[in-house]
A and B are shown apart, each in its own frame.
Chain A
Amino acid sequence: MDPVSTTAASLEVSGLAFAYPDGHQALFGVDFTIGRGERVALLGPNGAGKTTLVLHLNGILGGGAGAVTVAGLPVDKRHMATVRQKVGIVFQDPDDQLFMPTVREDVAFGPAAAGLKGAALEERVRHALDRVGMGDFADRPPHHLSFGQRRRVAVATVLAMEPEILVLDEPSSNLDPASRRELADILRSLDVTVLMVTHDLPYALELCPRSLILSDGVIAADGPTADLLSDEELMRAHRLELPFGFDPRVTKLTKKDG
């Protein structure tokens, strides 16, 4: 799939630096742009600042140097409500994300907070759940679902807000192979911009044509996923390791065929 770069980019991060109140500095000037409709993986070792970066995208963290713009809109106090609607973050633990008593209410939370009501809200919820194949589970309490199902509902809660960009934090963690594939199918079927934070390099290769490597608080590399993963020296330098027996070059060829 080619990136559909038309008008304003979905996400623009420039010169972003940030230190926590305890003095620990996590970001040291991050720059990148993601075009509309792109699917990009954000790779990096533990402690590289990935989560810190993600929390800047919808303004939960801020106050450091640099700027983030979402679909042309600067992330600041004035635009916070719109920005949070446009940036949908799917957190790593679906139990954190699904905080309402039933799946339906959880999916409705975002759009309802934005002021949607009645039949339109109902329709939005149904549509979002159908997109992740969880339409039949609307009245279930989240803790009665399997982990994979919860992850899918978590994606639906964000889709219901019709975001400009979907940000997923470790989407494939703790999933069995079947749930992992189902989630990949769902993500491929969506026509939104996706930024995927992950350690799962084969998953990144499968889903994202382009990757960024965040290391020590800066973007260390930006390019086609297959090229980055094939660059052994680069990978080693940033503590990224491919699973045993996995060769990105071979996978790339078979993908191109299919």
Chain B
Amino acid sequence: MGAGHAHRLYRHGESPVHTLPPHTKLAAAFLFVLVVVSTPREAMWAFGAYAVLLAAVAERARVPAGFLLRRLLIEVPFVAFAVLLPFVAEGARVHVLGLSLSVEGLWGAWNVLAKGTLGVAASVLLAATTELRQLLLGLERLKLPPLLVQIASFMLRYGDVITDEMRRMRIARASRGFEARGVRHWGVLAKSAGALFIRSYERGERVHLAMVSRGYAGSMPVIEEATASPAQWRLALALPCSALVVCLSGWTL
């Protein structure tokens, strides 16, 4: 799961989805996924309807299908898990091509795949249409503790800086003919990790000094605030609301 974290998902654009205030989008994505998760798995058509809803959002956000599908690859480990489910789950069994499969397991696999995929797709759409900074503002607006948002904001600001330091250390190791090939070399790598921690911590102390020097006294000044009009809220919540209709009919039909 490591390598996937490095790339950013944001795609610059001016679409109506891009310009929505971040907290409305966060709320919409979260509620949508919540509705999806609460849908009975037997209502297969409902998941089709959700996919259509997301496709409509992607269309309005001008996020190309190829981009969205490529980003869905992050899910692959769970596809593997889902494939296993029919073999290991309990319950009545059916025989397909000489394999004994659990009915419960098949439903479970479908459930995990459908809901997981829709969840990832919703998150990818959110990340693709919302800038980093905006996401943080949105989280703050949604009443996450300010300290938590600050920590997240420092983490994102310095994530690249620290990763870069790590890369330079690797190059420095390689230039001296060192290449980690097995467990024997873990000591050297761990020393790098330790050095990285010390550098990170010391940088944290220097950042604090720089903040204090500019008048920081424990709370971040409010510089930018995300605000949303009722119309923007209506537009953003259109997605989870239509999903809710689908979900409710899934339960009743």
Contact = CB atoms under 8 A, between A and B. Distances in A.
B162 to A, nearest CB: 10
B216 A143 contact: no
Secondary structure at chain B's binding surface: helix, strand, loop or mixed?
A: helix
A158 interface: yes
B171 interface: no
A91 interface: yes
Nearest to B133: A101
A109 B224 CA distance: 11
B210 A91 contact: yes
Interface residues of A, number: 33
Contacts of A99: 154, 157-158, 207, 210-211
A141 B160 CA distance: 11
A158 B210 CA distance: 10
Contacts of A108: 221, 223
A108 B221 CA distance: 9
A60 interface: yes
A55 B216 CA distance: 15
A114 B213 CA distance: 12
A112 B217 CA distance: 12
A85 B223 CA distance: 18
Given A55-B209, A158-B214, A143 B133 contact: no
A29 to B, nearest CB: 24
Given A101-B156, A105-B224, A96 B213 contact: no
B165 to A, nearest CB: 10
Nearest to B164: A143
A215 B215 CA distance: 30
A93 B224 contact: no
A64 B206 CA distance: 21
Secondary structure at chain A's binding surface: helix, strand, loop or mixed?
A: helix
Contacts of B209: 55, 60, 91, 96
A161 interface: yes
B161 A143 contact: yes
A247 interface: no
B122 to A, nearest CB: 24
A44 interface: no
B153 A101 contact: yes
Interface of A: 55, 58, 60, 81, 84-85, 87-89, 91, 93, 95-97, 99-102, 104-105, 108-110, 112-114, 121, 141-143, 157-158, 161
3 A-B pairs with the lowest CB-CB distances in the bound complex, closest first: A112-B221, A113-B215, A110-B214
24 contacts: A55-B209, A60-B212, A81-B215, A81-B217, A87-B213, A89-B213, A91-B213, A95-B203, A96-B207, A99-B158, A99-B207, A99-B211, A104-B223, A105-B223, A108-B223, A109-B214, A109-B220, A109-B223, A110-B215, A113-B214, A121-B223, A141-B157, A158-B214, A161-B214
